[in-house]
């Protein structure tokens, strides 16, 4: 007597459980990856550029007796090479505004180099304040 093997079938419930499990993983993994990429962009562009702007503004102060009130006064052509942010300056505050390449345009990271304080504006869901020092 030869026994026939029955083909194993996957039930609809098992398929739905697998889809549900994959969906739960995706819900938690993708936002974390996106946040890590944004944080990397901030670390690569914001902090070195803010330090450079601050040092150039200090040099400007030593030369002219006052801080620059516009970024163009510092003659920093390398700021045009930045991909994800546009930089602006008042006499004591540096602003980095996100553009479309960052994800959502219009969010700002603000650094006051006199008081050495960081803040974010219009950045809900875009930039986490905890990413800043």
Would you write out the chain's pLDDT as a tens digit for each of its 133 residues? 566 666 678 888 999 999 999 999 888 888 788 788 888 888 888 888 888 888 888 898 899 998 888 888 888 877 766 788 888 888 788 888 888 888 788 889 898 888 888 888 887 877 877 777 7
CB atoms within 10 A of CB 125: 8
The Cβ of residue 87 has, within 10 Å, a number of other Cβ atoms equal to 21
Which residues lie closer than 8 Å to 78 by C-beta, 6 or more apart? Answer: 52
Residue 5's alpha-carbon distances to 1, 2, 9, 16, in angstroms, are 13, 10, 12, 26
* Token duo for residue 22: 């994959």
Token code pair at residue 88: 């602006």
Q: Tell me which fold the domain 13-131 belongs to.
A: Glycoprotein, Type 4 Pilin (3.30.700)
């Amino acid at each position: 007597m030869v026994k026939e093997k029955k083909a194993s079938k996957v039930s609809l419930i098992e398929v739905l459980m697998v889809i549900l499990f994959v969906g739960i993983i995706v819900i938690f993994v993708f936002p974390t990856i996106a946040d890590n990429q944004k944080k990397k962009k901030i670390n690569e562009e914001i902090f070195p550029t803010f330090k450079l702007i601050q040092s150039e503004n200090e040099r400007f102060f030593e030369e002219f007796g006052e801080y620059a009130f516009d970024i163009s006064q510092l003659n920093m052509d390398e700021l045009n090479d930045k991909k994800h942010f546009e930089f602006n300056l008042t006499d004591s505050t540096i602003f980095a505004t996100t553009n479309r390449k960052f994800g959502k345009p219009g969010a700002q990271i603000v650094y006051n180099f006199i008081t050495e304080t960081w803040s974010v504006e219009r950045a809900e869901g875009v930039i986490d304040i905890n990413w800043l020092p």
